[in-house]
């Protein structure tokens, strides 16, 4: 009924499996391989679903080498006292914008070159088969697009686009990266250890000398076209996703604790509609009381062992 994993339900810690997958799993918290019973339950859920709504979070991308904020033991909050940039701080302070763009500039080559993992690839296959009606992601890394999924709603926007906050002109990130390079020949964009939003650690000297170009059209503030902490998801985007949800009969959460309301709201909407819902995640989620069940495991381990 499903593909049986050769290790069965053997308990595996992060340091053990990292020998096989290298640093790709450095940001995945300690966990166990999913047991056979949980796979059977999830397989039945998929077979009984005609149009699947998939909600993905940072936990699906940690296996590609992108760190997250909240994972136990390995997330940014657990390993550092650093906190993500707040929207108000970014907009109010030229120094904050300088620091943000300097760090993000250096980290961009690594962040933009990250590749999809087995979970992204499986979802793209499900999409091609017609099982998945849409994928709604809280991630800004474009990995679902890279894997080939056709219908993706980026709830928090995309790091691959930059927008002027005055005239709303949008440019692709690589174009803005080129402008940053021309203005800052002293600072090299290089593959280095990065944080969840793609930035890196720099010295104060490197930051203070960094120049940030304004909008080429109106001279306004340029900001990544993504939702910062303290910023709201655009209402029209939320309504568009709710419209997609209305046409589905099953909801699957992948790699999200649902701690942030922007994603959790769709669980509440599913409850109102009486939807069948479940999740695959390492550790509890905020939505657990409303789910039929939760598979405790790594998305890249669980999804390839299922079939449609």
* DSSP character at residue 86: B
Q: Determine if residue 27 is labeled as part of a ligand binding site.
A: no
> From CA 225, how far away is CA 195, in angstroms rounded?
18
Q: Determine if residue 17 is labeled as part of a ligand binding site.
A: no
What would the two tokens of residue 11 be? Answer: 């308990």
Q: Determine if residue 167 is labeled as part of a ligand binding site.
A: yes
Q: Determine if residue 67 is labeled as part of a ligand binding site.
A: yes
Q: Determine if residue 77 is labeled as part of a ligand binding site.
A: yes
Q: Determine if residue 117 is labeled as part of a ligand binding site.
A: no
End-to-end Cα distance, the chain: 10
CA atoms within 13 A on the CB side of 50: 3
Q: Determine if residue 278 is labeled as part of a ligand binding site.
A: no
For the beta sheet containing 170-172, the strands, ordered from the edge strand earlier in sequence to the opposite edge, are 170-172, 157-164, 222-226
58 class by beta-carbon count within 10 Å (0-12 exposed, 13-18 middle, 19+ buried): buried
> From CA 227, how far away is CA 9, in angstroms rounded?
39
> From CA 152, how far away is CA 179, in angstroms rounded?
29
Q: Determine if residue 158 is labeled as part of a ligand binding site.
A: no
Q: Residue holding tokens 């300097």?
A: 102
**Catalytic site residue from 120, 145, 156, 307:** 156
Nearest C-alpha neighbor of 24 from the set 62, 69, 56: 62
Q: Determine if residue 122 is labeled as part of a ligand binding site.
A: no
Active site residue 186: no
Q: Determine if residue 75 is labeled as part of a ligand binding site.
A: yes
Q: Determine if residue 138 is labeled as part of a ligand binding site.
A: yes
Q: Determine if residue 61 is labeled as part of a ligand binding site.
A: yes
Which residue positions form the known binding site for NAD(+)? 57-77, 138-141, 255-257, 281-283, 299
Which residue positions form the known binding site? 57-77, 138-141, 164, 167, 215, 218, 255-257, 281-283, 299
Q: Which residues are catalytic?
A: 156
Which residue positions form the known binding site for Zn(2+)? 164, 167, 215, 218
């Amino acid at each position: 009924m499903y593909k049986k994993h050769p290790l069965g339900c053997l308990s595996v810690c992060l340091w053990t499996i990292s020998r096989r997958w290298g640093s790709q799993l450095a940001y995945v918290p300690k966990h166990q391989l999913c047991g056979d019973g949980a796979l059977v339950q999830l397989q039945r859920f998929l077979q009984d679903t005609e149009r699947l709504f998939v909600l993905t979070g940072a936990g699906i991308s940690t296996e590609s080498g992108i760190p997250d904020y909240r994972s136990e033991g390995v997330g940014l909050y657990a390993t550092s006292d650093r906190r993500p940039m707040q929207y108000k701080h970014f907009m109010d302070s030229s120094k904050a914008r300088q620091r943000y763009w300097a760090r993000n500039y250096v980290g961009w080559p690594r962040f933009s070159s990250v590749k999809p993992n087995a979970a992204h690839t499986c979802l793209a296959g499900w999409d091609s088969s017609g099982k998945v009606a849409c994928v709604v992601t809280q991630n800004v890394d474009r990995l679902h697009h890279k894997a080939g999924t056709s219908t993706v709603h980026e709830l928090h926007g995309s790091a691959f686009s930059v927008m002027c906050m005055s005239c709303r002109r949008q440019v692709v990130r690589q174009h803005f990266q080129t402008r940053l390079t021309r203005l800052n020949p002293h600072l090299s964009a290089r593959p280095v250890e990065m944080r969840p939003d793609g930035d890196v650690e720099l010295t104060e000297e490197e930051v203070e000398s960094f120049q940030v170009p304004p909008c080429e059209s109106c001279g306004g503030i340029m900001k990544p076209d993504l939702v910062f902490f303290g910023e709201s998801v655009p209402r029209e985007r939320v309504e568009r996703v709710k419209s997609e949800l209305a046409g589905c009969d099953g909801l699957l959460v992948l790699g999200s604790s649902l701690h942030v309301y922007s994603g959790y709201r769709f669980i509440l909407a599913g409850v109102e509609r009486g939807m069948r819902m479940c999740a695959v995640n390492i550790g509890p989620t905020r939505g657990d009381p409303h789910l039929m069940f939760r598979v405790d495991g790594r998305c890249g381990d669980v999804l390839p062992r299922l079939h449609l």
